[in-house]
């Protein structure tokens, strides 16, 4: 062997040993890393899964890995000192085999969707409990699917085979709690099912409460794991209905219905939430759809009647209520609804009779008390009785916004406190909670007007018209502008309103008032003469009154005012104008005659009483 050849062999040997050293070094590092990992996991439960199962879990075969990631979001990593990589200890599934990891992912997806059809599909894909091949995971999942169908969808035919006994674990514990009528607060939030299943108590035991915050947090977390679950959105909708958050309830139940339009329970719950949230169009549409599919279901007839009434379709509501009462003649709730319908129609004697029937049943609901007070106020004209009834409503239902606002309306009309509170005191707590509530704003405007506080009334009205652009609200705002001499704003609003609704009598009256206030007398007179020939009695009365304001001769003024009262003897403006006319003539007896007629219609107006006292003094001399 030559020297050159020996050198080549020597060099190759050196390279071989160098590579061997590198391999040994790498192996040593890997071993060190493994030891560090073992140290970090010391004291934790051993992973009870094969490498294939572990790989399946990591790859998200049934979504468990993604659930684990979501559940551990925002959880700070816990590390130990050392040279190896830092390993976070995640809660729940990360330290043990994923639940149901041996069950096909498509079956789990169907189970998580939680609609009647998907529950059936998932159950049909599992072994029956009597089959020796049925695993513990399958037995538990079958029991959970059965609980979902039994509690969430009682109208559905349930053919799921349930094992006689279950392995003791979190899931069987939740099912046991449901059977006992309890919310399982001890269930650990380890996966989708432990988050959702306890909230089945919302439908399993509708009278149970005290767990709403916990249930909401769990269900919202479940949404982050599967936002296409019919069951989750259904339970959230039921939860928000129970907490009276009707807008949220309507949104959640609408989502559930879109995910499964054929589900009876979600559609019924949605229609009820739509009614309470004021989604009248959706309520009527959903109730009508249910009636077409379930024409013999009395629950659907009830929904149809309530939806129609909320949409002001009085004829349809009465028809549905009649059908309900044919099936359940002693149903006091629908006797009360019939009374509400008749009240809208002005059939007060029938309303009174129905309320007496309701009262004799021993019931005293908030709706009954409100309707009784309204009847006493509008039909009996007995403000004292109405105030006493509404005081009873406040005492029995202290959290009722409707009772507080009704009491405020009575206080404004009578000028007296109700339940020991003035109108402003009754409104204040409601306004604090709901500053944009239209009814609250309207009552506050009325209260300010009763005190002649035009600036306050105008400010509240300015807020109201940003929410409500109906002609009634705008006309009221225009009248406030005229009181404050904001004629430019009044003219702009009224011209726009008249352009949109030229045939509306209230708009016409408002436009004439604004034309007179802005000095456009010729245009106002022309419009009055155009409208007078075809006007009905009350409109004719208003037109004669407005024309009297344009007359320059006192006899013509008097003639128009008399024509005004011939058309409508209760025209307050004309009666007050005649009081002023005769007062100016020093004909105090006639002045008092007309003033007393105004007082009879506005018995609580202290200013009018003072004017009458002055006339008494003048007539006594």
Higher-scoring residue by pLDDT: 21, 185? 185
Average pLDDT of span 542-560:
96
List pLDDT tens digits, range 407-425. Answer: 999 999 888 899 999 999 9
User: What is the length of the chain?
Assistant: 621
| Portion of the chain with pLDDT greater than 70, in percent | 84
Which residue matches tokens 């909670």? 433
Domain ranges, ordered by start, for the chain: 330-433, 570-621
Q: What is the average pLDDT score of the chain?
A: 86
Average pLDDT of span 29-48:
40
Cα torsion 197, 274, 286, 290: sign = positive
Q: Which of 321, 348, 342 is nearest to 333 (CA)?
A: 321
Residue 192: what pLDDT?
A: 94
Residue 25 pLDDT class (50, 70, 90 cuts)? low
Residue 36 pLDDT class (50, 70, 90 cuts)? very low
| Portion of the chain with pLDDT greater than 90, in percent | 75
Distance CA 67, CA 73 (A): 10
Please count the CA atoms within 13 angstroms of the CA of 385 that sit on its side-chain side. Answer: 12
Average pLDDT of span 522-541:
96
List pLDDT tens digits, range 333-371. Answer: 999 999 999 999 999 999 999 999 999 999 889 999 999
Residue 421 three-state SS: strand
Distance CA 221, CA 199 (A): 13
Which residue matches tokens 């988050």? 195
Residue 47: what pLDDT?
A: 34
Distance CA 598, CA 528 (A): 25
Residue 9 pLDDT class (50, 70, 90 cuts)? very low
CA 601 remoteness from chain centre: 38
Residue 74 pLDDT class (50, 70, 90 cuts)? very low
Distance CA 70, CA 248 (A): 24
Cα torsion 535, 536, 542, 544: sign = positive
Q: Which residues of 82-96 are buried (b: 16+ CB within 10 A; e: fewer)?
A: eebeebeeeebbbee
Q: With a cut of 70, say whether residue 59 has pLDDT above it.
A: no
Residue 19 pLDDT class (50, 70, 90 cuts)? low
Q: Is 1.10.150.20 the CATH number for 330-433?
A: no
Higher-scoring residue by pLDDT: 390, 79? 390
Angle at 598 between CA 596 and CA 602, to 5 degrees: 110
Residue 65 pLDDT class (50, 70, 90 cuts)? very low
Average pLDDT of span 602-615:
89
Residue 80: what pLDDT?
A: 35
Please count the CA atoms within 13 angstroms of the CA of 579 that sit on its side-chain side. Answer: 19
Q: Token pair of 610, please? A: 């003072």
Contact status, residue 507 vs residue 471, Cβ threshold 8 Å: yes
Residue 584: what pLDDT?
A: 95
Distance CA 559, CA 554 (A): 9
Average pLDDT of span 204-209:
90
Distance CA 562, CA 569 (A): 9
Residue 50: what pLDDT?
A: 35
Distance CA 65, CA 69 (A): 6
Contact status, residue 483 vs residue 454, Cβ threshold 8 Å: yes
Q: Which residues of 588-604 are buried (b: 16+ CB within 10 A; e: fewer)?
A: beebbebbebbbeeeee
């Amino acid at each position: 062997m030559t020297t050159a050849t020996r050198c080549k062999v020597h060099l190759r040997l050196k390279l071989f040993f160098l590579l061997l050293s590198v391999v040994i070094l790498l192996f040593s590092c890997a071993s060190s890393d493994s030891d560090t990992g073992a140290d970090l996991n010391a004291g934790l439960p051993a992973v009870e899964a094969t490498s294939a199962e572990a790989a399946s879990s990591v790859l998200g075969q049934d979504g468990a890995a993604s659930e684990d990631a979501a559940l551990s979001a925002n959880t700070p990593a816990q590390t130990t000192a050392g040279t190896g990589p830092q390993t976070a200890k995640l809660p729940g599934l990360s330290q043990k085999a994923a639940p149901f990891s041996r069950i096909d992912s498509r079956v789990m997806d169907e189970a998580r969707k939680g609609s009647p059809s998907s529950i059936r599909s998932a159950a049909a894909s599992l072994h029956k409990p009597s089959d020796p091949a049925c695993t513990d995971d399958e037995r538990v999942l079958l029991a959970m699917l059965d609980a979902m169908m039994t509690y969430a969808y009682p109208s559905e035919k349930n053919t799921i085979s349930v094992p006689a006994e279950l392995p003791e674990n979190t899931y069987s514990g939740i099912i046991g709690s449901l059977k006992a009528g309890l919310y399982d607060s001890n269930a650990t939030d380890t996966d989708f099912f432990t988050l959702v299943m306890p909230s089945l108590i919302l439908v399993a035991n509708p009278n149970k409460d005290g767990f709403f915050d916990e249930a909401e947090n769990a269900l919202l977390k479940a949404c982050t794991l599967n936002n296409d679950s019919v069951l989750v959105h259904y339970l959230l909708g039921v939860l928000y209905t129970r907490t009276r958050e009707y807008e949220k309830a309507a949104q959640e139940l609408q989502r559930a219905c879109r995910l499964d339009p054929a589900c009876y329970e979600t559609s019924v719950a949605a229609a009820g939430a739509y009614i309470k949230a004021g989604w009248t169009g959706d309520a009527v549409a959903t109730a009508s759809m249910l009636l077409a599919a379930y024409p013999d279901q009395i629950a659907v007839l009830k929904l149809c009647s309530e939806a129609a009434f909320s949409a002001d379709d009085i004829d349809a509501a009465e028809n549905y209520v009649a059908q309900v009462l044919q099936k359940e003649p002693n149903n006091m709730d629908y006797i009360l609804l019939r009374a509400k319908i008749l009240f809208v129609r002005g059939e007060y004697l029938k309303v009174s009779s129905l309320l007496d029937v309701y009262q004799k049943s021993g019931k005293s609901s908030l709706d009954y008390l409100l309707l009784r007070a309204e009847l006493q106020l509008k039909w009996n004209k007995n403000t004292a009785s109405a105030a006493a009834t509404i005081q009873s409503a406040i005492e029995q239902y202290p959290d009722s916004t409707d009772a507080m606002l009704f009491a405020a309306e009575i206080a404004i009309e009578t000028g007296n406190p109700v339940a020991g509170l003035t109108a402003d005191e009754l409104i204040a707590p409601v306004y604090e909670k709901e500053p944009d509530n239209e009814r609250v704003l309207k009552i506050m405007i009325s209260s300010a007007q009763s005190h002649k506080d035009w600036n306050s009334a105008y400010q509240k009205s300015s807020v109201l018209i940003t929410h409500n652009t109906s002609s009634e609200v705008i006309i009221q705002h225009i009248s406030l502008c005229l009181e404050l001499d904001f004629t430019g704003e009044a003219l702009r609003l009224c011209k726009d309103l008249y352009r949109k609704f030229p045939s509306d009598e209230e708009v016409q009256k408002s436009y004439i008032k604004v034309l007179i206030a802005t000095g456009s007398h010729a245009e106002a007179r022309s419009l009055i003469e155009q409208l007078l020939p075809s006007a009905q009695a009350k409109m004719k009365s208003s037109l004669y009154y407005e024309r009297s304001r344009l007359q320059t001769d006192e006899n013509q003024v008097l003639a128009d005012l008399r024509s005004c009262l011939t058309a409508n003897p209760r025209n307050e403006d004309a009666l007050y104008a005649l009081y002023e006319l005769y007062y100016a003539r020093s004909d105090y007896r006639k002045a008092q005659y007309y003033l007393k007629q105004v007082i009879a219609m506005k018995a609580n107006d202290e200013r009018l009483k003072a004017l009458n006292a002055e006339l008494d003094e003048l007539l006594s001399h």
